Amino acid sequence: MRPAIRGLAARAGRVSLASDPAKAGGEDLIADIAASTSRAASRPVRDDLRTLFDTAVHAVSAEVAMPRTLPISAHGRTVVIAVGKAAAAMMRVAQARAARPLEGLIVTRYGHLPPQGTAGPGVEVIEAGHPYPDERSVTAAAQVLDMARGLDAGDRLLLLLSGGGSALLAAPAPGLTLDDKQGVTRALLQSGATIAEINCVRKHLSAIKGGRLAVAAGPAQVTTWIISDVPGDDPSYVSSGPTVADTTSLAEAREIIAEYGVQVSPQVAAALANPANETPEADTLGLAGVETRVIARARDGLVAAGAKAAELGYQVMDLGDQLQAEARHLGASHAALARRLAKDGRPRAILSGGETTVTVTNKSGRGGRNLEYLLGLAIALDGAPGISALACDTDGIDGTEDAAGAIVTPDTIARAKAAGLDPQRHLDRNDAYLFFEELDDLVVTGPTLTNVNDFRAILIGSDE
């Protein structure tokens, strides 16, 4: 059912583990393991966890990911529009590497502007709402569409796209209001639906998503560079693919609404039944010729973090960058894996990425998917010695709070109980943020100005 969406399901990497170190390489290997154990145990585990996260974030930063040469129109105008949580950083790098001054627009989340300045002459900045669109999102979408419609043959639109654009650009389909879009977005985000499912619905309620921005650009050349925050890195799902041909349908959008029991307004129901809101077909509207390139993805961050973990003395298990599951359940599953691997005493790093989901039962709760993952993991570990973990969103914001994520150590549950906290109650109430805040275990980075979604690391071999 819904193969275009279900194809983004979770995958886990596989590794082979030698059961007998002597058989796998003899005494030299045993000596190597002993040396690695000593190196890993000689540093605070919190430092190692933060080092791995920082390494992953740097690997997917605009400075590292952006190509050195920009596609500048030889004979016409080049308009650059940067949208998403990495928009300001991507535009800054583009301006530094451009052969001549650029004109364009930055659309990003409130607070996601670099302290050293955002843009030079000719580039405007709009900050808008996320994860829920606001009036500024509507203004931004209208301005982006106007800029695209003003392009001629020989001109080029360079779209620098990163996660968050689905909320930052809100152009309700005819007959819909911003309130309609906000209501659907809120209900879907709280339902446990995946980002692919949510964006499928968004595309069919929009005048800019699902390839419609490329259509608006008409005869101009359209190039899109993407920092991907979706499992599987399908460009049509990043920020709901404003310049990328859509493979989903109105029927699938209606099915998603029904599956998750989302209550929609009569206007939204009518829009999802209106054939006019079907997304453009690539072969009939020229989208097949649009150039699209994913320049950074979660895999890049995991590879960099894996290399750093090995350098720090850990044996690395990479579970992949496409894990999708209910956050608390994935945390419990990873706790069981860590317990098994901890039995041989080797220092190990279990790394993973992707995007979990949270089914919200307490709408006044405070938390995010990484915090729910960690609380589920901590409860399942129940103080198991030598196992610590970090889970953070690479954009620096987990959900709607000010933390990127948090850290779990072997004494997390004991410290919580000593402080009068009930871990299971906090999890049941979707209050993981308050739990980790009370323990002073939140990871607060501020906006990182990039976004490839979640980064998780479990380190085995330190009791801290």
- The dotted CATH code for 34-60+298-460 is 3.40.1480.10
pLDDT, one tens digit per residue, over 61-119 is: 999 999 999 998 878 999 999 999 999 999 999 999 998 888 999 999 999 988 766 66
Q: What is the pLDDT of residue 10?
A: 34
Q: What is the pLDDT of residue 42?
A: 57
So what CATH class is 65-171+206-245+280-296? Answer: alpha beta
Q: What is the pLDDT of residue 436?
A: 98
Q: Mean pLDDT score of the chain, rounded to an integer?
A: 89
Q: What is the pLDDT of residue 156?
A: 93
pLDDT, one tens digit per residue, over 233-254 is: 999 999 999 999 999 999 999 9
Parts of the chain with a pLDDT under 50: 1-38
pTM: 0.87
pLDDT, one tens digit per residue, over 6-37 is: 333 333 332 222 333 333 344 443 444 444 44
Q: Which residues contact 375 (CB under 8 A, 6 or more apart)?
A: 328, 331, 423, 426, 427, 432, 435, 436
Q: What is the pLDDT of residue 43?
A: 73
Q: What is the pLDDT of residue 118?
A: 62
Alpha-carbon distance of 343 to 323, in angstroms, equals: 25
Going from N- to C-terminal start, the domains of the chain cover 34-60+298-460, 65-171+206-245+280-296
Q: What is the pLDDT of residue 122?
A: 85
Tell me which amino acid residue 336 is: A
Q: At what angle do helices 327-341 and 369-381 cross, to 10 degrees?
A: 40
Q: What is the pLDDT of residue 11?
A: 30
Taking the CA atoms of 70, 71, 74 and 78 in sequence, report the sign of the dihedral they define. negative
Query: Three-state SS string across the chain, please?
Result: CCHHHHCCCCCCCCCCCCCCHHHHHHHHHHHHHHHHHHHHHCCCHHHHHHHHHHHHHHHCCHHHHCCCCCCCCCCCCEEEEEECCCHHHHHHHHHHHCCCCCEEEEEEECCCCCCCCCCCCCEEEEEECCCCCCHHHHHHHHHHHHHHHCCCCCCEEEEEEECCHHHHCCCECCCCCHHHHHHHHHHHHCCCCCHHHHHHHHHCCECCCCCHHHHHCCCCEEEEEEECCCCCCCCCCHHHCCCCCCCCCHHHHHHHHHHCCCCCCHHHHHHHHCHHHCCCCHHHHCHHHCEEEEEECHHHHHHHHHHHHHHCCCEEEECCCCECCEHHHHHHHHHHHHHHHHHHCCCEEEEEEECCECCCCCCCCCCCHHHHHHHHHHHHHCCCCCEEEEEEECCCCCCCCCCCEEEECCCHHHHHHHCCCCHHHHHHCCCHHHHHHHCCCEECCCCCCCCCCEEEEEEECCCC
Q: What is the pLDDT of residue 73?
A: 83
